[in-house]
């Protein structure tokens, strides 16, 4: 293949999950359904958090931001995939691919950071309940979310600037349904040592550090609960942490699965399926986890839907 750099505007060919023509209609229907469920479910969480005064607390403020991030995360990949299936055009421009990588890094990192911030919120609520309203004041909550955005904005921009140095071959095939940083580095025609090093460092920053914060927060929460004598208090604490722990397990479990599959095998189909769990299935399931396990959210959603019906 002929080598080309970004000035010659090379195109990438996203091979998708399957090249079988008979599977395309099924894939289109399945991913369209999953995308609509993801957007609708997370949008309901956001609206409930905004319009229900009972949910005007730091925990639900962070949850609304997590839902917004999940909508954006899924919207970065699925619409383009659906368009490619519908038009039978697998090509994606160099700029389009870099843009997708950039926003994927931002929203994946935001998910990780927001889950860590939510764990800190639960730590303060359970371990320092008398000082909760003072510590988790509205200004700090906004600052924490802004910090999450700023860190991921600059990390994503740093990777894109590094990738701008790379050259790619004309007509490069990417065995995936979206442009993923690790996959793009594999198909680059130039040396990627610096890019891989930066990827490992950013993975630690965006993944390992937030996870360490989550584990520390919950170690303190468990320690505090062990000293708590009230069974009612323990039950309430477990109920508020259960949904968050489920989402954390799903997010980091699928993320670890993507890493292990990529490291253990070069099979493109397995890599794509693992990435689908991470980028599509997890954002779709988050609203169900929070709504089914949380009485406050279920009540708020019920009141919101009742208001919509009355207005009609």
In the chain the domains, ranked by start, together with CATH numbers, are: 3-311 (1.20.1070.10)
| Residue 94 to residue 168: CA distance in whole angstroms | 9
| Residue 147 to residue 237: CA distance in whole angstroms | 27
| Residue 8 to residue 311: CA distance in whole angstroms | 55
| Residue 135 to residue 107: CA distance in whole angstroms | 27
**Cβ neighbour number for residue 26 with a 10 Å cutoff:** 12
Residues near 166 by Cβ (< 8 Å), separated by ≥ 6? 185, 188, 189, 190, 192, 195
Average pLDDT of span 294-307:
76
CB of 304 within 8 A of CB of 54?
A: no
Going by the DSSP 8-state scheme, the letter that residue 129 receives in this structure is: G
**pLDDT by residue (tens digit) across 192-232?**
889 889 988 888 888 888 999 999 999 998 888 888 776 77
Beta bridge partners of 93: 11
**pLDDT by residue (tens digit) across 7-35?**
455 678 887 777 777 788 888 899 999 99
More confident residue, 88 or 160: 160
| Residue 273 to residue 254: CA distance in whole angstroms | 10
| Structure tokens that stand for 71 in this block | 């909508």
Average pLDDT of span 158-170:
86
What confidence category does residue 238 fall into, taking pLDDT thresholds of 50, 70 and 90? confident
Query: How close are the terminal C-alpha atoms of the chain, in Å?
Result: 60
Hey, what's the torsion of the CAs at 165, 167, 172, 176, to 10 degrees?
-20
**pLDDT by residue (tens digit) across 40-81?**
999 999 998 888 888 889 999 999 999 999 999 999 999 988
| Residue 70 to residue 254: CA distance in whole angstroms | 15
DSSP state letters, 174-219: ESSSS--HHHHHHHBSS--HHHHHHHHHHHIIIIIHHHHHHHHHHH
pTM of the model: 0.88
CB of 162 within 8 A of CB of 194?
A: yes
């Amino acid at each position: 293949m002929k080598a080309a750099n970004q000035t010659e505007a090379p195109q990438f060919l996203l091979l998708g999950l399957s090249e079988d023509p008979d599977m395309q209609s099924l894939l289109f229907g399945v991913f369209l359904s999953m995308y609509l469920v993801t957007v609708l479910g997370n949008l309901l969480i956001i609206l409930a958090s905004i319009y229900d005064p009972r949910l005007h607390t730091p925990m639900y403020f962070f949850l609304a931001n997590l839902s917004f991030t999940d909508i954006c995360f899924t919207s970065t990949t699925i619409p383009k995939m659906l368009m490619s299936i519908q038009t039978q055009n697998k090509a994606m421009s160099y700029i389009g691919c870099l843009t997708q990588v950039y926003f994927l890094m931002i929203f994946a990192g935001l998910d990780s950071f927001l889950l860590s911030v939510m764990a800190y919120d639960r730590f303060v609520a359970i371990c320092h309940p008398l000082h909760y309203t003072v510590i988790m004041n509205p200004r700090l909550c906004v600052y924490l979310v802004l910090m999450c955005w700023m860190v991921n904005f600059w990390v994503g921009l740093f990777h894109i600037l590094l990738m701008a140095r790379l050259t790619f071959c004309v007509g490069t095939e990417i065995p995936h349904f979206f442009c993923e940083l690790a996959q793009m580095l594999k198909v680059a025609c130039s040396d990627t040592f610096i890019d891989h090093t930066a990827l490992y460092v950013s993975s630690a920053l965006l993944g390992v550090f937030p996870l360490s914060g989550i584990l520390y927060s919950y170690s303190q929460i468990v320690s505090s609960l062990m000293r708590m004598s009230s069974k009612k208090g323990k039950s309430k604490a477990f109920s508020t942490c259960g949904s968050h722990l489920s989402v954390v397990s799903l997010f980091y479990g699928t993320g670890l699965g993507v890493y292990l599959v990529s490291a253990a095998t070069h099979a493109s189909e397995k890599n794509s399926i693992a990435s689908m769990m991470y980028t599509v299935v997890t954002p779709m399931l988050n609203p169900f986890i929070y709504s089914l396990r949380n009485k406050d959210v279920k009540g708020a959603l019920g009141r919101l839907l009742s208001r919509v019906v009355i207005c009609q």
